[in-house]
Amino acid sequence: MPKRVGLREVAELANVSLAAVSRAYTPGTSISEATRERVMQAARKLGYRPNLLARSLIKGKSGIIGVVMGNPRHPLFAVALEALSRRLSQAGKHILIFTAENPAHMADVHVEDLLQYRVDALLLMAANLSSKLAEHCREGGIPVILFNRLAQKVPGMVTVTGAGRDIGQKIATHLLQQGYRRLAYMDEPLSSRELESGFIGYATSKGLPPPERVLVHSQREGAVVAARTLLSQRRRPDAIFCVNDHMAMATIEVARDEFGLKIGRALGVVGFDDSEQASWPTWDLTTYSHPIDPMIERIIDLLLQDPKERHPSRIIVEGVLKCRGSTKRT
Amino acid sequence: MPKRVGLREVAELANVSLAAVSRAYTPGTSISEATRERVMQAARKLGYRPNLLARSLIKGKSGIIGVVMGNPRHPLFAVALEALSRRLSQAGKHILIFTAENPAHMADVHVEDLLQYRVDALLLMAANLSSKLAEHCREGGIPVILFNRLAQKVPGMVTVTGAGRDIGQKIATHLLQQGYRRLAYMDEPLSSRELESGFIGYATSKGLPPPERVLVHSQREGAVVAARTLLSQRRRPDAIFCVNDHMAMATIEVARDEFGLKIGRALGVVGFDDSEQASWPTWDLTTYSHPIDPMIERIIDLLLQDPKERHPSRIIVEGVLKCRGSTKRT
DNA sequence: ATGAAAGCGCTAACAG
DNA sequence: CTGTTAGCGCTTTCAT
């Protein structure tokens, strides 16, 4: 075992002081090219690697961003994670990750650890998390940013979210334009109510019967059952808006395979999130697409911004409804 | 600003020494319930939170596991990440994450950072990464574990992989049993050759014409084009094995929608990875399923194991071929 | 531009 | 069981 090499060993080999070595590794310090070169050479020879932990200890911050993710399998989160990771590592920051099956529960147990690492900031990407967790974090004096695909009311925190009400309204509008009249709405429990209120609000304001609403737990199985129920009624809906693409696809399968409905013509289906598959010919699904890149960009800005000038605020990023075959009446 | 509270402040408030406070936070140290309680109370009052960085600095290890992920969007990785995160945080470890679009390229640039954090271990979950990266890591004296869905030959490293040759063979066997005779094989460049050799080897050993093989880049677009080419031939294949489910689904779409082929009957299709969608009625895709949980379990063991007793080895975890409608001739 | 020394916040021997 | 004393590996005044 070649004994751990530290600043000390390098300094000796290079015949300089510890401080010199340190400076050689810190951009923007006064050090002559000559010594820097000497140091670097010695360092290379010894296989020296500065210890970030020690540096962090002094600096008081770790260069680490804590990320709490609801569900890494959710396509949106996966994409976001990828983008985040890329941009953040460009900025020399790193991501300490946390997944929270049940955000409410894990909150107190494990996020505590996160805070102990003196993360520079905490990014919460969870569909629904206890405000207790949020509170907890802010007490830790760590800036918290909440990122969500759906709007959410979280007072006193920086949030980056989708447009909520507006989106629901936009979708209802599109459906009406296409000539659908009996709308229905398939949601998950605990999700944002803003989407719903926009959707239903607009529909009823136009004199339509209030859209029927079903709440569904497990994405696949629940949606299948719900779709069957919805479509078995004597006066079945002629358009269903599902709060994520998975549900929408399940609905399409049921409508197509079990009820023999022609998607688009006999039944309009709208999804949410614009997952990779949505554009495949098999689904050709009309769905709301989040502007991931701009969202991430905003988040990066916030994350890298001086905490002093960060004020509680809600940043809403608008996406676009991708109109495809699943809502074409022709 | 309530000035940062440290061991010191707590000790003063509780009227004990620094060491006492430290012990109160370290399980398995000799300290009386009485003092521990006093300490905890003072700590709570001050909002004290031990600084893990300082602790790590002393201990020489950070409690952090570095994870390099090829593509967070890959369903397998997402699932693995989730499982890993859960199990690891139970063990008090945390995950510093890294995504590597192009593993070969990012290798030297950013993994360096990872090493500087003195991660306890490095887990590489990338489809294909330069052995240079691997080398680099081991030089850093950090145990490296390679996790891959496909077998790969990496000498001198601990690897956990799928079964490679055997799987390819298993799939060919299944296809023959079902009565398919003109096999084809759709792969990505740079992926493991073991699967292929098992598949092709078995087929030819049974006297079949050597399976045609296409290599495809972009998952979706590439597969669509390749499928068209394959199916346009005068003597088209009657079964296609695709090295991931996405490709398989694309192939199914093309065969069904553009060539009017009945999947299963006229064309057998086999996927790989058993993604969530594979079992949906729309696809009903025969696909190879990785035993994620056992794999993760093995990895966790390795990760938590004393580095001293970790020997280079290749652990192969066997999964199962899920036979579904896409390879039923009836 | 460089070196010496004083810590960052905590743990790990040692004594007592 | 508890306190004292050295550091962990590095950054930073403060002199030189």
State the DSSP code for A171.
H
| Mutate: best of B74, B82, B87, B99, partner A, most A CBs <10 A | B99
Quick one: pLDDT at residue B289? 95
Quick one: pLDDT at residue B38? 93
Quick one: how far is CA A203 from the chain centroid?
Answer: 29
Say how many CB pairs under 8 Å bridge A and B: 137
Quick one: pLDDT at residue B140? 67
A182 CB-contact burial (10 Å; exposed 0-12 / middle 13-18 / buried 19+)? middle
| Mutate: best of A71, A97, A259, partner B, most B CBs <10 A | A97
Q: Do A96 and A152 touch, CB atoms closer than 8 A?
A: no
CA separation for the pair A57, A19 (Å, rounded): 17
- Which residue among B51, B116, B250 sits closest to A51, beta carbon to beta carbon? B116
CA separation for the pair B137, B115 (Å, rounded): 7
Length of chain A: 330
**Distance, CA of A51 to C1' of D11, in Å:** 12
3-state secondary structure of A15: coil
A83 versus B311: the higher-pLDDT residue is: A83
For A312, half-sphere exposure in the C-beta direction (CA atoms, 13 angstrom radius) is: 7
B184 CB-contact burial (10 Å; exposed 0-12 / middle 13-18 / buried 19+)? buried
Residue pLDDT, tens place only, B2-58: 667 889 999 999 999 999 999 999 988 889 999 999 999 999 999 899 999 999 999
| DSSP annotation string for A138-159 | HHTT--EEEEESS----TTSEE
Tokens representing residue B50 in the block = 């031990």
A319 versus A219: the higher-pLDDT residue is: A319
CB-proximal positions of chain C, under 7 Å = 1-13
Q: How far is A214 from chain B (nearest CA, A)?
A: 22
- Which residue among B57, B79, B281 sits closest to A253, beta carbon to beta carbon? B281
Strands B144-148, B158-161: pairing is parallel
Main-chain phi, psi angles of B111, to 5 degrees: -65, -25
| DSSP annotation string for A32-54 | -HHHHHHHHHHHHHHT----HHH
CA separation for the pair B132, B21 (Å, rounded): 45
| Tally of CB atoms within 10 A around B306 | 7
Residue corresponding to tokens 């409690």: B63
- Which residue among A73, A113, A118 sits closest to B53, beta carbon to beta carbon? A118
Q: How many helices (H) and strands (E) does chain A have?
A: 12, 12
Quick one: pLDDT at residue B219? 81
Quick one: pLDDT at residue B163? 82
Quick one: pLDDT at residue B74? 82
User: Which of B89, B92, B108, B88 is CA-nearest to residue B100?
Assistant: B108
User: Which residues of B fall within a CB distance of 8 Å from A64?
Assistant: 96
Tokens representing residue A274 in the block = 């614009």
CA separation for the pair A107, A136 (Å, rounded): 9
- For residue A1, pLDDT over 60 is answered with no
Quick one: pLDDT at residue A105? 59
| DSSP annotation string for A83-132 | HHHHHHHHTT-EEEEEE-SSHHHHHHHHHHHHHHTT-SEEEEE-SS--HH
Question: Greatest CA span in chain B, whole angstroms?
Answer: 89
Name residues whose C-beta falls within 8 Å of residue A160's C-beta, 6 or more positions apart in sequence.
A145, A146, A147, A148, A295, A298, A299, A302, A315, A317
- For residue B109, pLDDT over 70 is answered with no
CA separation for the pair B216, A30 (Å, rounded): 53
Pairwise CB contact (< 8 Å): A85 & B98: yes
Q: Do A249 and A283 touch, CB atoms closer than 8 A?
A: yes
Quick one: pLDDT at residue A111? 74
User: Which of B299, B275, B316 is CA-nearest to residue B76?
Assistant: B275
CA separation for the pair B150, B319 (Å, rounded): 11
Pairwise CB contact (< 8 Å): A113 & B94: yes
Pairwise CB contact (< 8 Å): B73 & A75: yes
Pairwise CB contact (< 8 Å): B113 & A89: yes
Say which amino acid occupies A298. R
CA distances from A134 to A103, A139, B46 (A): 11, 9, 19
Q: How many helices (H) and strands (E) does chain B have?
A: 12, 12
- Which of the 21-60 residues on chain B come under 7 Å of nucleic strand D at their beta carbon? 23, 30-32, 34-35, 54, 57-58, 60
Say which amino acid occupies B171. I
- Range B60-71 average pLDDT: 89
Residue pLDDT, tens place only, B128-143: 665 666 667 677 678 8
CA separation for the pair B199, B197 (Å, rounded): 5
Residue corresponding to tokens 């010919």: A281
- For residue A153, pLDDT over 70 is answered with no
Give the pTM.
Answer: 0.89
- For residue A220, pLDDT over 80 is answered with yes
Pairwise CB contact (< 8 Å): B86 & A78: no
CA separation for the pair B197, B185 (Å, rounded): 11
Name the least confident of A104-108, A186-190, B19-23. A104-108
- For residue B151, pLDDT over 70 is answered with no
Q: Taking the alpha carbons of A168, A170, A176, A178 in that order, is the dihedral positive or negative?
A: negative
Quick one: pLDDT at residue B133? 65
CA distances from A5 to A38, A44, A266, B108 (A): 16, 11, 72, 20
User: Which of B274, B253, B283 is CA-nearest to residue B319?
Assistant: B274
CA separation for the pair A61, A96 (Å, rounded): 14
User: Which of A83, A226, A61, A21 is CA-nearest to residue B52?
Assistant: A61
Pairwise CB contact (< 8 Å): B98 & A96: no
Tokens representing residue B218 in the block = 């972009």
Residue B127 pLDDT grade (very low, low, confident, very high; cuts 50, 70, 90): low
